[in-house]
Amino acid sequence: MKFFVDTADIAQIKELNDLGMVDGVTTNPSLIMKSGRDILEVTKEICDLVEGPVSAEVTATDAQTMIAEGRKLVKIAPNITVKVPLTWDGLQACKTLSGEGHKVNVTLCFSTNQALLAAKAGATFISPFVGRLDDVNIDGLELIEDIRTVYDNYGFETEILAASIRTVNHITQCALIGADVITAPPAVIKSMASHPLTDKGLAAFLADIEKTGQKIL
């Protein structure tokens, strides 16, 4: 499974990238707004930092302007993936941009039918939002499973990029289901290393070595 980091915070991306935990980055206008920086400038800096795909989202809602924005975004760096919403206009933009050889991430997916349309339109990635479905009492992980089944049934090459990941359990279940990618905030990815039994065991080891009075350095 590939890990994408869902942030525009350069320092956090660099920390995870240095550990080999970054296969790509997803951004959106809301995340870049939090950084307080110019959208094109921060996107370029992220692209220079990581080798994998960097999703940069269009801000228009009509197909023709989305296409124009997408063509501008891909000029930032070779690893740009244009992010478009799963609307009819977004699907039109996806078809055109993917037909021109650009990577496209179709976002805000909440149903299997939407995911099927995105694959037919040539999407590189489909981004189902797990956490937001959970918020309205719909099983977001079940959607990942359904999309996996449909894509496998017909050999679609569109990668399932599980988004709105909020817990380590979301990551575990997405991996078991077979999502190709998860995108999560840095804090969620880092929390995967935590376990109470690890903490308990480490405390016991440290207490024992302290009793011996020995040190390695």
- The CB density around residue 12, as the number of other CB atoms within 10 Å, is 17
Is residue 14 annotated as a catalytic residue, yes or no? no
- Going by the DSSP 8-state scheme, the letter that residue 53 receives in this structure is -
Query: Which one of 44, 83, 190, 215 is the catalytic residue?
Result: 83
Polymer length in residues for the chain: 217
| Residue 58 CB contacts under 8 Å (≥ 6 apart), including other chains | 65, 66, 69, 70, 73, 82, 83, 84, 93
Pair of tokens at residue 97: 């941009």
- The CB density around residue 163, as the number of other CB atoms within 10 Å, is 28
Catalytic site positions? 83
